[in-house]
Copies of this chain bind each other. A is one copy, B any other.
Amino acid sequence: MTITHTEKYTTAHPSVPTAFEKEAGLPRVIVLGGGFAGIEFVKTLDTTKYRVLMLDRHNYHTFQPLLYQVATAGLEPDSIAQPLRKIFAHTPNFYFRMATVSHFDTKSQHVITDIGHFPYDILVVATGTKTNYFGNDALRLSTFPLKQIPNALDLRSQILQSFEQALQETDPAARRAYLNFAIVGAGPTGVELAGALAELRTHILPKDYPELDFAEMEVVLIENMPRVLATMSEKSSRLAKKYLEQFGVKLHLGVGVLSVDGTVITLSDGTHIASHNIIWSAGVTGNAPAGFAKDLITPANRILVDAHNQVQGMPNIFVLGDLAAMITPELPRGHPQLAPVAIQQGVALGKNLNRLAANKPLKAFAYFNKGSMATVGRNKAVVDLPNNMTFGGFMAWLTWMFVHLLYLVGFRNKAVVVANWLYSYLTYDRGTRLIIRPFIKSKMAAGVQEAEPVI
């Protein structure tokens, strides 16, 4: 492996602020994305040997596995997000800019963003994935994604507003459309969200909405594959299915979605479901900036990399985490798109660049599988260990919580999440049922009618 250093980085730009002058001469590393891969890479990198610029369109790292708890009023966003500047406050030669990246140009070695061009010597792309709508605009406009904190806050407002709307709806079918929650995709996000909504129905919402009949509320989980959690073991799928049914989630397995139009989902078995709350968690696609040759991009929009996460024909460009497709005979579709892979690749590349700076040979990436897990709700989760052992129930639930706290960034966040979980567990309550981002279209303009009588 060779890294081509440009002439440029050895001389400071004439208008470089004083702060940079002392580091002039160090190779410039630009990291795109402050997810797990990006932050673990920078944490590992010896930044006395490199200057690092991280670009992200948010100023914070998001702990995506707990987004569904923000969406269901269990946690506030601050407890699952960490400002990137805070994470690296004590890292020398680290710089951050909040920017939306458009593309990179390998000739001039620049990243092009909405706030300008930035030159690099080494580019690390860790931009992850985005929700996959398969190019279907009706789908995108009619459904709620759950990838970012603003999505989770939008969904929280939508869920709570649906109950407010249902109160004023006398037509039973129209009211059910507000009380139906349809989740497409039974991966961990879909399963965890379905479980949390079922819990809201049992323990939380009836206290808030005594006027509603919660027998009318339905949580529906739709999955193309014949089982939930298809990437986990068959036993985990079976257990998770049992738990979901215990919580009263209605499952449509082995059934595809033919169309989503406004508030109506049509399934491949002919079923129609009317819902104002359609959540799309049926897949992601690579979120790469433009600049990669077509033959480097997989059908899932991931970027082909070698065992050093290096891109073929681009010796100074590396791709990490969910976006990277490191194809091997054992992994013909690359690694699973999971946080542990991203973390381990970030660390591995950090160490490799440190070796490069010390003129030592690089090491190939080897994934250490720690297993996988998903929670369904109160006291119920499933865990697959790497030795093909599977367990469920209360112990799995404790394991799930422990592991998620371990990966959550920031001591303060861990403390806040533990406190919230304890509170919710003991009181059967949720703290944050606030509608802060309302979507309600005012009916004032359309002419006011007699309201459904309340008192």
Contacts and interface: CB of A to CB of B under 8 A. Distances in A.
Contact of A452 (B28, B116, B434): B116
A211 B22 CA distance: 13
B207 A77 contact: no
Interface string A350-383: 0000000000000000000000000000000000
Per assembly, the copies of the chain total 2
Contacts of A153: 436
A100 B442 contact: yes
Interface in A182-212: 207-211
A16 interface: yes
Interface in A116-174: 116-119, 149-150, 153, 160-161, 164, 167-168, 170
Contacts of A167: 97
A433 interface: yes
Contact of A60 (B29, B60, B150, B434): B434
A15 B452 CA distance: 8
A170 B18 CA distance: 12
Given A19-B210, A86-B208, A97 B444 contact: no
A453 B119 contact: yes
Interface in A34-58: 51-53, 58
A423 interface: yes
Contact of A112 (B211, B423, B448): B448
Residue among A102, A113, A160, A208 with the highest chain B CB neighbour number at 10 A: A208
A431 to B, nearest CB: 5
Interface of A: 13, 15-17, 19-20, 23, 28-30, 51-53, 58-60, 76-78, 81, 83, 85-86, 89, 93, 95, 97-98, 100, 102, 112-119, 149-150, 153, 160-161, 164, 167-168, 170, 207-211, 412, 415-416, 419, 423, 429, 431-436, 440, 442-444, 448-455
Given A97-B167, A98-B440, A117-B448, 5 more contacts: A16-B453, A19-B210, A59-B433, A93-B455, A112-B448
